[in-house]
Amino acid sequence: MTIDNIIVLAKKVLDVLLVWALLYYILKSLRKNVKMILLFKGILIIVAAKILSDLLDLVTIGYLIDYVIEWAPLALIVIFQPEIRDALESLGRAKFLGRHKTLTLSEREKAVNEIVTAIKFMQSNRIGALMVLERDTSLANYINKAQKIYADISSALLSSIFYTNNPLHDGGVIIEGDQISCAGAVFPTSSSTVISKRLGTRHRAALGIAEQSDCIAIVVSEETGRVSIAEDSELTYNLSLDEVRVRLLEGLTPNPKTTSEKEGSYEEN
């Protein structure tokens, strides 16, 4: 095999990989967006109608479907402009080289312990909270619009932020690595029909940001004190503190394929 043949083969493999990557991203977006799922179903119906009209030689229906197909791309761009913009922004926020900061095992455990301690306090005092932990997808767009803090994680600070009389308690907190980056952040609410109607804005906001990024969103209910976690476009209700601890430690563990632990992180003195 000559060098030219190897280059041609490499180009074909790259072409196929890029197509698969595009299809994966589209299918992932479909799974997260209710409107896009309905759009996909509508496209399937139109395609099925077109095939049926060709088989049965239905001239009028076939002409109308051809007309719809001809103008459909322009109509979709106009109708789904917000969804297209959100998808492009999500792609632009993605950090393809991994997290902005890789926490050591001790740093990760310390951060999780502070968060769990704050959750325990908020549960016992019926304080509602929404905490979002950034992972590979950047949340800078939400941080820029919120009240900057940039302080080390502590249970006392988290509890005070969400205290009822605090002006920032209605928004969400974004945590980057081992720092609280901001408070009072506003997130998009999910339009999912699966989520219970009894749940409030915090839960819908947690699921909404989890649908648009790979973050971990923690919600403490003000009415019941129950803890929920939104991750990978799914909301898990009524978790115990031990379950929350395990979920956070696992979720914040670096991917060994893209990142590595700092030297000595697993050593105990």
pLDDT tens readout for residues 97-114: 444 457 888 999 999 999
Q: In this structure, is residue 72 part of a structural domain?
A: yes
CATH of the domain at 144: 3.40.1700.10
Contact partners, residue 183, CB within 8 Å, separation at least 6: 146, 147, 149, 161, 168, 171, 172, 173
Q: What is the pTM of this model?
A: 0.64
Higher-confidence residue of 165 and 265: namely 165
Contact partners, residue 220, CB within 8 Å, separation at least 6: 119, 122, 123, 127, 128, 129, 130, 162, 226, 227
Cα gap 194→236, rounded to integer Å: 12
Pairing of strands 234-239, 147-152: unpaired
Dihedral through CA 44, CA 46, CA 51, CA 53, nearest 10? 160
Which of 239, 238, 166 is closest to 196 using CA atoms?
Answer: 238
Q: Is residue 115 located within the same domain as residue 227? A: yes
Domain count, the chain: 2
pLDDT of residue 22: 77
Higher-confidence residue of 1 and 22: namely 22
Cα gap 131→158, rounded to integer Å: 9
> Residue 15's domain spans which residues?
3-93
User: CA-based Rg of the chain, rounded to a whole angstrom?
Assistant: 23
pLDDT of residue 219: 96
Q: Are 206 and 227 in contact (CB under 8 A)?
A: no
Q: What is the pLDDT of residues 77-89, one digit of tens each?
A: 776 666 666 666 5
DSSP state of 97: T
Q: Is residue 117 located within the same domain as residue 238? A: yes
Q: Is residue 141 located within the same domain as residue 83? A: no
Cα gap 245→113, rounded to integer Å: 8
DSSP state of 151: E
Q: In this structure, is residue 219 part of a structural domain?
A: yes
Q: In this structure, is residue 98 part of a structural domain?
A: no
63, 93, 123 — which closes off a domain? 93
Give 213's Cβ-side CA count (13 Å radius): 28
Q: What confidence category does residue 34 fall into, taking pLDDT thresholds of 50, 70 and 90?
A: low
Q: Are 212 and 141 in contact (CB under 8 A)?
A: no
Higher-confidence residue of 83 and 146: namely 146
Q: What is the pLDDT of residues 134-144, one digit of tens each?
A: 998 888 889 98
Q: Is residue 245 located within the same domain as residue 121? A: yes
Mean pLDDT of 24-49: 71
Q: Is residue 186 located within the same domain as residue 245? A: yes
Question: 87-91, 154-158, 218-222, 248-252: lowest mean pLDDT where?
Answer: 87-91
Mean pLDDT of the chain: 82
Q: Is residue 42 located within the same domain as residue 146? A: no
Q: Is residue 60 located within the same domain as residue 191? A: no
Question: 19-23, 88-92, 118-122, 185-189: lowest mean pLDDT where?
Answer: 88-92
Alpha carbon of 40 to those of 37, 191, 252, 261: distances in Å? Answer: 5, 17, 34, 42
pLDDT of residue 167: 87
Mapping DSSP to helix (H, G, I), strand (E, B) and coil, where does residue 58 land?
coil
Q: In this structure, is residue 261 part of a structural domain?
A: no
Q: In this structure, is residue 260 part of a structural domain?
A: no
